[in-house]
Structure 1
Amino acid sequence: MDLRNGKLSLQQAKELDMVQYLAGLGYHPEKIRKDMDYWYLSPLRIEGEPSFKVNRVKNRWFDFGLGKGGNLIDFGLRYFNCTVRELMDKLNAEPRLVQTIERPVFDPGFIKDREQKITVLGEKPLFSYPLINYLHERHIPRMIADQFCCEVTYEMDGRNYYGIGFKNDAGGYEIRNSYVKQSSSPKDITTIGNSTGEVQVFEGFMDFLSWQTMQLQQPVLNTDFVILNGAAFFEKARPIMERHDTIRLWLDRDATGKEYTKFALSLGKNYCDESQLYSKHKDLNDWLTSSSTVQKSQLRQKIDH
């Protein structure tokens, strides 16, 4: 890399290899997929499952918990909480920086071959035993799943698979089975409207199905629903949520879910945190699959009121 005055330019800094830069900070991937997607526990927050991805080909990062991403400069500004000038000073303070973290060269043909996407081939009512059994393991009755889900077949990397499909408002699917948690494009939220003044908000559709399961023995509650299909869509969903007088949040109890809940509560009194009901569990479905009959009865009473 050609440096003027022995220093990196801003553009050169943006193109430095993210994977090697993170390694220099002490962060190493938890898993690598397709030889180009490097997954980390996020350096920007505390989490238990890796949701920070670096695409080695594009040399860009994305934190799915924050819903933010970009180049190395974007990362450094967040990581060090500093200005661009301060970050450039940090980068140029390392005399061997360029030699150690220049970007690797990739074959364009390889890139084209490896960047495979999920293509949904078709959908039908839930039928396959492994999927029904998976729902049983998650304590979701089939009669509930049949109302909101379908069985999708999809192609990925030249092979066909199937899973439980939950459709979003843009026509994409959240896909689940015992082995994978995936999404087809386009990624979006799912809304179910009943023209009411109250909305229930869930991070994922399994929690939404869990809520529906807990309602089986209760009178039908007329309410609207927003399923974010990922915490990163919270901001996108806000205009829809805030049309309602009461917004009940059933977000995950991990660091990201707690952050979004705290932020939401700061926005106004119409936001209500319902997650205290499963405070010792990672999410509502985890609570459903492990809680006692007494606890479930308490949740039914709380939801009913």
Structure 2
Amino acid sequence: MSERTRGNEGLITLAQIKELDIVDYLLELGFQPNKIRNVDHWYLSPFRNERTASFKVNRNLNRWYDHGVGRGGNLVDFAVMFYQCTVRQVIDIFSDYLSFYKPRPRPIPRIWNVTQRPIEILSTAELSSKSLIRYVSSRCVFTEVAMRYCKQANYRIGDHRYFALGLQNDSGGYELRNSFSKVGSSPKDITTIDTDASTVSVFEGMFDFLSYKTIMTQTVEAPENHVILNSVSMFERARPFLERHDHINLYFDRDLAGFRCTSSAMAISEKYNDASGLYEGFKDLNEWLISSF
């Protein structure tokens, strides 16, 4: 196959796309591994909803395999299936991706089992830690907004204890953020805030939502519900709740995954509205908010 196009680094070929790190690319799309065993990274499948991770990436081979559908391959094969497109269209997609792609160093394979340990929530309380309040302020989110919607969560991974700003999801799991980490406890789910409004605003992550609520403190806020997906991959799970509303405003990241999800949603129904024009030129709402201070 000889299809290629020109990007910032010159001619882009299928061979170059196949060499890109699949784990890196999945991270750009918002997918994080549920567990890691040696060089094998296990994910909830990007192709469907599931509760047990069946999608594996061997980072040594840089190949994926989805046990649920019995298919696998390289990054080009993944893109054809994920975007439901042709090989030629894959080249167009990656010409944009490569303009901002910064490769991460491949890890040296370990000989021991490095299975990701589960996160255990030990307790939650009102936000009081000075270091967490400084962290929230560094993201230009008002402390009172963070205190209204989040908790200070104490959690354990193995023998180590940590604390973080925690946003609870609808199944009781927490998205956990501090200056050093971005993790989440099981079970993974969306977070809904339902006030019986006819309009709903949807956000990929907790800091985009907190940024929005910070902005809204400066104006008279119309009644609306909110959904935080906690990963763009959770969009399908949110649809039954979203489509009960008359108007659905999408504040997704302005990246490949965000644009793809927005485009797919707007093709479903005229109820969906792309609201990301507010922060055009920035990756997400929080980045735009920080730039405005």
Question: TM-score, normalising length from structure 2?
Answer: 0.70
2:119 counterpart residue number: 118
How far did 1:61 drift?
Answer: 4.2
The letter for the 2-side match of 1:26 is E
1:70 equivalent in alignment to 2:55 = yes
> Within 1, Cα distance between the matches of 2:215 and 2:264?
27
How far did 1:49 drift?
Answer: 7.9
Pair 283,105 (structure 1): closer, same or farther in 2 beyond 3 Å: closer
The letter for the 1-side match of 2:23 is Y
How far did 1:268 drift?
Answer: 1.2
2:24 counterpart residue number: 41
How far did 1:254 drift?
Answer: 1.3
Per-residue CA distance 1:124-182 (angstroms, 9 max, x = gap) = 11111110001111111111111101101100121000000100010010000011000
How far did 1:52 drift?
Answer: 6.0
2:214 counterpart residue number: 213
Matches within 5 A, 1:183-198: 183-198=184-199
Matches within 5 A, 1:155-174: 155-174=156-175
Per-residue CA distance 1:211-239 (angstroms, 9 max, x = gap) = 11111121232111111011010000001
Pair 49,263 (structure 1): closer, same or farther in 2 beyond 3 Å: closer
Pair 275,65 (structure 1): closer, same or farther in 2 beyond 3 Å: farther
1:55 equivalent in alignment to 2:44 = no
| SS of alignment partner, residue 140 of structure 1 | coil
Pair 57,290 (structure 1): closer, same or farther in 2 beyond 3 Å: same
How far did 1:57 drift?
Answer: 5.3
| SS of alignment partner, residue 154 of structure 2 | strand
How far did 1:202 drift?
Answer: 0.5
1:256 counterpart residue number: 257
Which one of the candidate residues 26, 38, 42 is aligned to 2:19?
A: 26
How far did 1:65 drift?
Answer: 6.9
The letter for the 2-side match of 1:74 is R
Identity %: 36
The letter for the 1-side match of 2:19 is G
1:230 counterpart residue number: 231
> Within 1, Cα distance between the matches of 2:177 and 2:191?
16
Pair 27,225 (structure 1): closer, same or farther in 2 beyond 3 Å: same
The letter for the 2-side match of 1:70 is F
Pair 63,171 (structure 1): closer, same or farther in 2 beyond 3 Å: closer
Q: Is the 8 A contact 2:126 2:152 kept in 1?
A: yes
Deviates further, 63-72 or 185-194: 63-72
How far did 1:203 drift?
Answer: 0.5
Matches within 5 A, 1:125-140: 125-140=126-141
| SS of alignment partner, residue 40 of structure 1 | helix
Larger radius of gyration: 1
Q: Is the 8 A contact 1:150 1:165 kept in 2?
A: yes
Question: TM-score, normalising length from structure 1?
Answer: 0.68
1:88 counterpart residue number: none
Q: Is the 8 A contact 1:118 1:154 kept in 2?
A: yes
How far did 1:59 drift?
Answer: 4.3
| SS of alignment partner, residue 164 of structure 2 | strand
Pair 253,281 (structure 1): closer, same or farther in 2 beyond 3 Å: same
What runs of 5+ residues in structure 1 fail to find an aligned partner? 1-24, 29-38, 83-103, 293-305
Pair 157,67 (structure 1): closer, same or farther in 2 beyond 3 Å: farther
| SS of alignment partner, residue 233 of structure 2 | helix
> Within 1, Cα distance between the matches of 2:30 and 2:247?
33
How far did 1:196 drift?
Answer: 1.4
> Within 1, Cα distance between the matches of 2:45 and 2:281?
23
What runs of 5+ residues in structure 2 fail to find an aligned partner? 1-17, 57-64, 82-108
| SS of alignment partner, residue 262 of structure 1 | helix
> Within 1, Cα distance between the matches of 2:126 and 2:43?
34
> Within 2, Cα distance between the matches of 1:281 and 1:126?
29
The letter for the 2-side match of 1:192 is I
Kindly tell me the number of residue pairs found equivalent between the two proteins: 233
Pair 56,74 (structure 1): closer, same or farther in 2 beyond 3 Å: farther
The letter for the 1-side match of 2:36 is N
Pair 105,174 (structure 1): closer, same or farther in 2 beyond 3 Å: closer
Q: Is the 8 A contact 1:66 1:231 kept in 2?
A: no
| SS of alignment partner, residue 136 of structure 1 | helix
